Amino acid sequence: MKLLITGASGLLGINLAMEALREHEVIGVHRGKLKSAPFQVLNVDILKRTELHSILDKTQPDWLINCAALANLEECEKDPFQARRLNTELPGELALACEKRDIRFVHISTDAVFDGTKVGMYTEEDEPSPPGIYSQTKLDGERAVRQANPQAIIARVNFYGWSLGERRSLGEFFVTNLNEGKNVNGFTDVVFCPMLVNNTARLLLEMLQKDLSGLYNVVGAQPISKYRFGVEIARTFGLREDLISPRSVESSGLTAKRSHNLWLSIHKLSTDLGHEIPWFSTGLAEFYTQFQQGYPQKIRSYQH
Ligand SMILES: NC(=O)c1ccc[n+]([C@@H]2O[C@H](COP(=O)([O-])OP(=O)(O)OC[C@H]3O[C@@H](n4cnc5c(N)ncnc54)[C@H](OP(=O)(O)O)[C@@H]3O)[C@@H](O)[C@H]2O)c1
């Protein structure tokens, strides 16, 4: 299959491209960061409608996975206009353009569409209650995609992994800071379901291959607090866990409101795929193996 990935320089985009490359032809769309990636790249401003239509006509992909977003919660609070442009309008435009050309479309959404007040896990049936600009624009993006392209896959994700930067994902944040002997905070009152981004990528590809459509939670199989996540990383990498201070997110000084409970059910995903979702410990072990094998340096060498 020919796969077009927007946001190919991002945490998900680059890892998805690396995974997809094993079996598919990959074309990554970026805005100038990638220089020597092992897949074809196109430097295109996807916010310009004419350019967007032109790359679809030129490349004629079978699948498009939209990994472009304004994914930083604090940035979204500062620039709601850009957040809406990237997280709501662009997904809707891409979904429609794909629908018209018979291209299968995958939109990446977020676990953060929930305010976290539910006791227990959220299913795909639960009514979202976005607590900030990021989550509201992402939810509106889901709605725009569903309206334009009912067959699209909409995946609510949460992942960590190696990126082109050194602190982009929470996993990298802990490894990099603890490695430098720095004190960091770990939130004890934010529970989420982190998945190694390579597993997220493999599951998305499998969902496309199985011709699934509609809304899915694509997150890790176990809920864990952000503090505990840091401790597990420290133990796996042989770093000092005492450098991580257990704290409440309410004392973090962050502008964007964070949800306390982002435990999402993966029952629908595992049922429709017909197998279990990788366990947290399996993903963490692979995160460490990637580190030992120089995977972070490898992908970072693909940028300018
Ligand atoms: N990280 C998580 O755990 C998490 C959790 C929930 C949901 N998600 C969702 O997963 C998806 C991927 O997130 P990520 O963590 O991979 O994000 P990321 O690392 O910030 O990557 C975002 C991508 O979008 C591109 N982009 C940003 N502004 C752009 C613009 N104006 N024009 C064109 N491209 C632009 C970036 O390009 P540059 O590299 O050039 O900036 C980058 O390739 C997003 O939809 C996000 O909402 C992520």
For ligand 1, whether the C-beta of 86 sits within 6 Å is: yes
- pLDDT tens digits, residue range 100-109? 999 999 999 9
- C-alpha 112 to ligand 1 mean position (Å): 15
Neighbour tally for 52: CB within 10 Å: 19
| pLDDT on residue 257 | 85
159 CB-near residues (< 8 Å, 6+ apart): 11, 12, 169, 194, 195, 196, 197, 199, 200, 219
State how far the Cα of 165 lies from the Cα of 169, in Å rounded to an integer. 9
Neighbour tally for 297: CB within 10 Å: 10
- What distance lies between CA 254 and its chain's CA centroid? 21
Q: Which is the closest atom of ligand 1 to the Cα of 160?
A: 3
| pLDDT on residue 119 | 94
**Least confident segment among 27-36, 249-258, 273-282:** 249-258
Mean pLDDT of 142-155: 98
| pLDDT on residue 170 | 95
Mean pLDDT of 220-249: 97
Mean pLDDT of 282-292: 98
Q: What's the whole-model pTM score? A: 0.97
The string of DSSP letters for 81-130 reads HHHHIIIIIHHHHHHHHHHHHT-EEEEEEEGGGS-S-SSS-B-TTSPP--
> Percentage of residues in the chain with pLDDT exceeding 90?
95
Angle at 261 between CA 86 and CA 182, to 5 degrees: 80
| pLDDT on residue 146 | 98
For ligand 1, whether the C-beta of 302 sits within 6 Å is: no
User: Where residue 116 falls among pLDDT bands split at 50, 70, 90?
Assistant: very high
Which residue minimizes the CA distance to atom 11 of ligand 1? Answer: 67
Q: Is the pLDDT of residue 261 over 80?
A: yes
For ligand 1, whether the C-beta of 10 sits within 6 Å is: yes
- Amino acid, single-letter form, for residue 9: S
| pLDDT on residue 58 | 96
> Percentage of residues in the chain with pLDDT exceeding 70?
100
- pLDDT tens digits, residue range 51-70? 999 999 999 999 999 999 99
For ligand 1, whether the C-beta of 31 sits within 6 Å is: yes
Q: What is the average pLDDT value for the chain, to the nearest integer?
A: 96
State how far the Cα of 160 lies from the Cα of 199, in Å rounded to an integer. 10
For ligand 1, whether the C-beta of 14 sits within 6 Å is: no
Mean pLDDT of 156-169: 92
Test site for ligand 1: of 6, 9, 217, 226, most ligand atoms within 8 A of the Cβ: 9
